[in-house]
Chains A and B, each alone.
Chain A
C-alpha cells in the first residue's frame, strides 16, 4: 500500500515536470494561438501512451506501475477544465471544441494505443 502510494507520488513529480517543460515549449511555439495546444497535446499523447503500455508491458510489475504514475502526473484534468472555462468567457465556440475534442480524441487515442 505505502509503496504503491509512493510510486504514484514520485511518478507524479517526474510527470509534472515533463508537463511543465512541454507546456512552456509549446506555448512559446504557438504563442499566437488561443487554442490550448499544449494541454491538448499533453493529454492526447499521455492517453495514447497509457493505452500502449497497458497493452504491452507485463501486468503487476514495478515498471508498469511507474510508467502509469508518470503519465498520471504528466496529464492533467484540472487544467483542461479551467482552460475550458477561461476560453468560454472569450471564445465560446473554441471552448466547446476544446472541451469535446479533448475528451473524444483522448479516449480514441487511449483505445488506439491499447489495440495497436
Chain B
C-alpha cells in the first residue's frame, strides 16, 4: 500500500467513524435544504425560475465549502497539537502526499453530498429540474473543494485549539454563506452587497453551481466562476504554505 493510499484510507475511516462529522457534512445541510425548500416552496424569483433552483445549489455549495474548511482545519490543528505532524515529518512521505489524500477524500465527500442533495431536490415535492449544463458542476466542485481546503489549511495553521478552529471557521463561513446567497437567492440582496460578495470564494462556487444546476446561466458564466475559484485556490494555497507550522512550539 502506498503512503498516499494509506493516508487516504486512514482519513476515510476516521471520517466515517466520526458521527459528528457525518452529521455536519450530510444531515445538517440536508436539513437546511429541506427547511429552505419548505419556506420558499412554490415561490418564483424574478427571471421565472423556481426558488428551489437557487436553494439547492446554494445549500450544496455551502455544504461543500463548510465541510472542506472544517474537516481540514480541525485535522491540521489536532495533528500539530498531538505531534502527529512531527511523526509524519520524520517519515520519507512528503507533506504534499498528506494534502493530496485529504483532497481526495474531500472531493469524494463533495460528490456524495452533490448526489444526495440533488436527489432530494429532484423529488417532485421540491421540484428541481436539471435544465442547465449540470455536468459543469464537476469542475466547479473540484476547484471549490481545492479553494476551501486551502482556506481550511490556513484556519488550521492559525488556530491552536478546537475552539479557535470552530470560532474562526464560523466567522468566515457563516457571513460568507449569507452574503454569497447560499440560503436565499442573492438577486434579493441590494446591489452594493452583491458587489461586496464578489470578493468571497463561496460566491463563485454558488454562482457557478446555480448556473449549472439551476439553469440560470450559460457555460461562459460557469467558466468565469471556475477561473475565480482557481484564483482563490491559488491565493489561499500560497498563504497556507507561507504560514504552515510543523509544531506549536516557537
A binds B: no
